[in-house]
Amino acid sequence: MNYGQIYYADVANGPGCRTSLFVSGCTHHCRGCFNQETWDFSFGHEYTRETENRILESVKPSYIDGLTVLGGEPMEPSNQKALLPLYRRIKEKVPHADIWIYSGYTWEELTDPSNKRAHTDCTDEILSLTDVLVDGEFVEDLKDISLCFRGSSNQRIIDVQKTIEYGKITLKDI
């Protein structure tokens, strides 16, 4: 897997001060995407164990609220496999840090085992480690710059842990 950029003090992609990882590779190709260069799976830098270690260290300070992973598309099947170890390590080593994932896939697509475009053998575990999923493709006709932490009104900010617990989609209070 490759990544385009890492921001170590990001305040735009989730609450508080966060580390944000922009992965490479996306097959959605949303019209009006703000980050089209990351559609290419080979864009940017190689994601290595050293990269993972730097990200892990960056979320340890108490003033960092968590990790946000976006792109590109973190839930592309090939990206899921590469990112799962990072999510595991953060939950184990940095319990105060929450994990936000931005995905063009919807909750329904990700949780449907018959949807081989989005669901892999890693998906359920990734979701179990995720605190918030901002789901749905960016739709330029629904763009609304007044929305908090999302680009278009079709996108949902899902409280993943409550959704799993209640068995129905539960939106995050922002």
Higher local confidence (pLDDT), 32 or 15: 15
pTM over 0.85: yes
Tell me, yes or no, whether 173 lies in a domain: no
Instruction: Name the least confident of 12-16, 32-36, 44-48, 102-106.
Output: 32-36
Q: How far apart are CA 86 and CA 130, in angstroms?
A: 12
Tell me, yes or no, whether 71 lies in a domain: yes
Beta pairing class for 156-159 and 132-135: antiparallel
Predicted confidence (pLDDT) at residue 18 exceeds the cutoff of 90: yes
Tell me, yes or no, whether 171 lies in a domain: no
Q: So what's the pLDDT on residue 82?
A: 97
pLDDT in tens, 128-160: 999 999 999 999 999 999 999 999 999 999 999
* Domain encompassing residue 122: 2-166
Q: So what's the pLDDT on residue 32?
A: 82
Tell me, yes or no, whether 133 lies in a domain: yes
Tell me, yes or no, whether 125 lies in a domain: yes
The dihedral region occupied by 111, where left means phi > 0, alpha psi between -120 and 50, and beta the remainder, is alpha
Tell me, yes or no, whether 148 lies in a domain: yes
pLDDT in tens, 22-78: 999 999 988 888 788 899 999 999 999 999 999 999 999 999 999 999 999 999 999
Tally of structural domains, the chain: 1
The residues pairing with 156 across neighbouring beta strands, listed in sequence order, are 135
The stretch 72-88 carries a mean pLDDT of: 97
Predicted confidence (pLDDT) at residue 1 exceeds the cutoff of 90: yes
Q: So what's the pLDDT on residue 35?
A: 85
Q: So what's the pLDDT on residue 167?
A: 97
The stretch 112-141 carries a mean pLDDT of: 96
Q: So what's the pLDDT on residue 31?
A: 84
Predicted confidence (pLDDT) at residue 174 exceeds the cutoff of 90: no
Tell me, yes or no, whether 18 lies in a domain: yes
Tell me, yes or no, whether 174 lies in a domain: no
Q: Are 135 and 108 in contact (CB under 8 A)?
A: no
Q: How far apart are CA 24 and CA 60, in angstroms?
A: 24
CATH number of the domain to which 89 belongs: 3.20.20.70
Residues written for the chain:
174
Phi/psi for 77 (5° steps) reads: -50, -45
Q: Are 164 and 128 in contact (CB under 8 A)?
A: yes
Q: What is the DSSP string of 25-74?
A: --S---TT-TTGGGGSTT-SEE--HHHHHHHHHHT-STT--EEEEESS-T
Sign of CA dihedral 59, 84, 159, 39: positive
